Structure formats: structure tokens, C-alpha cells
Amino acid sequence: MKISGAVKKIVFTTQVVLLVLLCAFWTTGARATEKEDEGVGGPKNYSSLTGLVAMVGSDAMEHLHGFFAAEPVAIEPFIVLSEFSTRQRISLLGATLAEQMAAVISNESLAVWRPATAGENEQRVSGVLQEVDGYLRIHILAANTRGDRRSYVVNVEMSEPIYRALHSYVYMQ
């Protein structure tokens, strides 16, 4: 049985149109997934420790962009608040987040690692970490030479690596 030339053209044209539509839907879905991965229109992935440190540092610096003067910024270690302890503790996560903040601040100003002895009108960044009902609350505090203060707060669902880093203490005051 022979298929006429007109039928072949119709079948071929239909296949091409379906292929183009399929490609269009696929690229639209890929772009939506890509935007979700970037945090546009969807939650950010803070499940890994390295992802948490990188994203919190970059998100906080977006919030603090242009805030600091061209003078040194003192980075204080982030402390862990605990309802059962009155001592200030610095965990592995707190030290790592402070180091990340020092690294990203160094792109704009000079970052200086310094213990918590803040002078008046000294530029500084400090932070507080707190575990609340399975979530980690990170509160980053910043002050500049003009006396202005800003803060950045993020709540993150706790994963096992983040939990271990939060409860591995490296220094207690």
C-alpha cells in the first residue's frame, strides 16, 4: 500500500510540530527548576553544611551590600544560645559562619578576625545561633562606623550535618 505525498507531508509536519512543542515545554520546565535551585520563586536548599555556609554568607552580604565603610570590619565568632546554659559557646558551625562572613566581607572591605571586644563605632559583624523546634535560627548582626546597625535572620530546617556542626563546640567563654 502506497502512502501519497500529501499524507507524508501532513504526518511529517505534525511530527515536527509535536517535537517543537515538546522541546518548548521541556525548556520551560528546566528554566523553572533552575530558578527554584537559585532560590527565585522557591525555597533555598540549606540541607548540606557547605550549602548552608555559602548561601548564608552570600545572602547576608547581599543584605549588607554598601553598608560598611572602607575601614576594617571586626568579625566576632558566632555564639550558640542554649536554654540550658548561661555560658557563651562557639561551635564549629559558628566559627565556620564567621570565617565565611570574613571571606565575603573581604571582597568589599578589610575583614579582621577579632574576639568579642567591640569598641564604640567600630565596624563589626557578630552572630547568634539558636536551635528551635528542629530549626536553626541564624541571626547576623552588623554595625558600621556611622553607628548604623543591620541584622539578617534566616531560619533553616536542621539536617544531621548541620546539627553535628552546631553541637561540636570549639570554644567556651
Q: What ranges do the domains of the chain cover? A: 1-43, 49-172
**Confidence band for 70, pLDDT divided at 50, 70 and 90:** confident
Grid cell for residue 123: 565596624
**For residue range 71-128, what is the model confidence (pLDDT) as tens digits?**
888 888 899 987 666 677 888 888 888 888 888 887 665 666 555 455 567 889 999 9
**For residue range 21-42, what is the model confidence (pLDDT) as tens digits?**
555 555 555 444 444 444 444 4
User: Please, how many CA atoms are within 13 Å of residue 23, restricted to the half-sphere of its CB?
Assistant: 6
Assign domain 49-172 to its CATH architecture.
3-Layer(aba) Sandwich (3.40)
pTM: 0.67
pLDDT of residue 15: 65
Q: How many CB atoms lie within 10 A of CB 88?
A: 16
Tell the burial category of 94 from Cβ atoms under 10 Å away from its Cβ (0-12, 13-18, 19+): buried
Distance between CA 55 and CA 9 in Å, rounded?
53
Mean pLDDT taken over the chain: 75
Q: Which of 8-12, 117-121, 137-141 has the highest mean pLDDT?
A: 137-141
